[in-house]
Amino acid sequence: MTRTAFRLILLVSCAHALVHVFELALPSVEQMIGEDLVGKTAAENKAATGTLGMAWRLPFGLLAMVAGWMADRYGSRRLLIVYLGGCIITAIAAANSHSMPPLFISMLVMGCFASIYHPAGLSLISRVTTPETRGRALGWHGIFGSIGITAAPMGAAVLFGTGWLGWRGYYMALCVPAVVIALLVLVSIRRVSSTREPDSQVGPVSEENGPFQRGPYMLLVASGALSGFVYGAFLHFLQRYLDGAGIRPESVSAESFRNLLAAVTLSFAVGGQWLAGRLARPGRLEWLQVAILAASAPCLVLMGLATGWFCLVSACSFAFIHFMTQPVYNSLIAQLVPSRRRSTGYGFSNMICFGIGGLGPLIVGQSTDNLLIYCGLAAVVGLSTLLAAILWWSTRGASSDAPTPSPENE
């Protein structure tokens, strides 16, 4: 991997971290919003903020296909600027919302702009890496995403612990890193002569313009959609789940402590992403996806049964295992879709996975029974595992023929 490619991957990964900060901003403050703008029972507040989560996540998924097409046509770097600028504007709008309808609209539009990132960013990374180096690059990309997921509740814990800012000030604070990254991406655009990413400009990339493997791709996306539903539900109500464990010291505010526990939980996702990035290589991706999904289902059952500190332990276990799927899944997309259509391939995948995932907060928000919720999510992961196993079976011949990476690429 060239130095230019590495710097580009690092910058794109920072933008990835930020999209997940925006994603996890709402779960970090959803209980505060419920108390401020809804002000009813805990069950009614949960249902209302679950609707906000759906408003953010549905366009985050459903518009990804359009974003992928636009990235193929106009270039990934330019689309990244649009994503960052749009999220800055809508974060300011959210901070100035004083009732649920304008906040709902702000979340909806923010999800639209955030939908741009994954098809544009993932395609850009896939084009500047080889199959042998892609797993590691996507592993680092995933690690930055998990850092962003962790940073959202950690930042909330720090800010709310000081008492300086409420949820509105938190959204305003998110604009600062977004402006910095947008400026860096803008500088990156000006250093290249085209908004597209031709291979010669960013480093050596192997020719990957084979046929589109439609059947395996659709199996993979179907499995990812079920996994995305679980992902959306788990993340949106993580703070609420940990808040119900009853382990908060009296000297610490509830707003700060539940976000601190969420940050601890999601820090385990970073370790899972790192490990998966090390393991994700051609020839082992399909069975690795099956193993990861199968191992994550029991963790959800434990979340439904756990009390006290075991709530934190079971949530950390699920975060570590389940987030391992992301670099493996994204490497499989690149393996099944030719390079020239990869933005669209990632876009369709994210449209389905995050679109279905957008229903997670809405559906889970209708219940307060943890046993029912998390055992139900475990069943959904079981179906996802079954589809991944069918994919592995259908492609086992091609996988066994995949080249083994040479030592210098390790």
CATH assignment of the domain containing 95: 1.20.1250.20
Question: Is the predicted pLDDT of residue 145 greater than 90, yes or no?
Answer: no
Q: Which domain holds residue 321?
A: 3-194+210-401
Sign of CA dihedral 207, 213, 216, 218: positive
The CA distance from 177 to 180, in Å, is: 5
Segment 358-379 shows an average pLDDT of: 89
Q: Structurally, how many domains does the chain consist of? A: 1
Stretch 136-156: mean pLDDT: 85
pLDDT at 407: 34
- Indicate if the pLDDT at residue 410 is higher than 50: no
* Residue 207 CB neighbours (<10 A): 8
Q: Model pTM?
A: 0.73
Out of 140-149, 196-205, 230-239, 311-320, give the one with best mean pLDDT.
Answer: 311-320
Please give the DSSP secondary-structure letter assigned to residue 407. Answer: G
Is residue 204 situated within a structural domain?
Answer: no
What is the average per-residue pLDDT within 235-240?
89
Residues 385-392: what's their mean pLDDT? 94
**pLDDT over 90 at 118, yes or no:** no
pLDDT at 242: 93
Q: How far is CA 38 from CA 98, 111, 237, 392, in A?
A: 11, 22, 17, 47
Tell me whether residue 205 is in a domain.
Answer: no
In this predicted structure, what is the pLDDT of residue 190?
57
Instruction: Give the pLDDT score at 398.
Output: 53
| pLDDT at 125 > cutoff 90 | no
pLDDT at 207 over 50: no
Note whether residue 334 is domain-resident: yes
13 in a domain, yes or no?
Answer: yes
Structure tokens given for 245? 């464990």
What integer pLDDT is reported at residue 208 of this predicted model? 54
Q: Is residue 200 part of a domain?
A: no
Residue 394 domain-assigned (yes or no): yes
- Computed over every residue of the chain, the mean pLDDT equals 84
Q: Flag whether 288 is in a domain.
A: yes
Alpha helix positions (H), 191-284:
199-202, 214-236, 238-243, 254-279
Q: How many CB atoms lie within 10 A of CB 179?
A: 12
Q: What is the pLDDT of residues 306-356, one digit of tens each?
A: 999 999 999 999 999 999 998 899 888 888 888 777 777 887 888 888 888
More reliable by pLDDT, 78 or 193:
78
Residue 408 lies in a domain: no
pLDDT of residue 189: 62
The residue ranges of DSSP E strands in 279-337, in sequence order, are none
| pLDDT tens per residue, range 243-284 | 988 899 988 888 889 999 999 999 998 888 888 888 878 788
Say if residue 191's pLDDT is above 60: no
- The C-alpha atoms of residue 106 and residue 68 are separated, in whole angstroms, by 23
Torsion sign, CA atoms 4, 5, 10, 15: positive
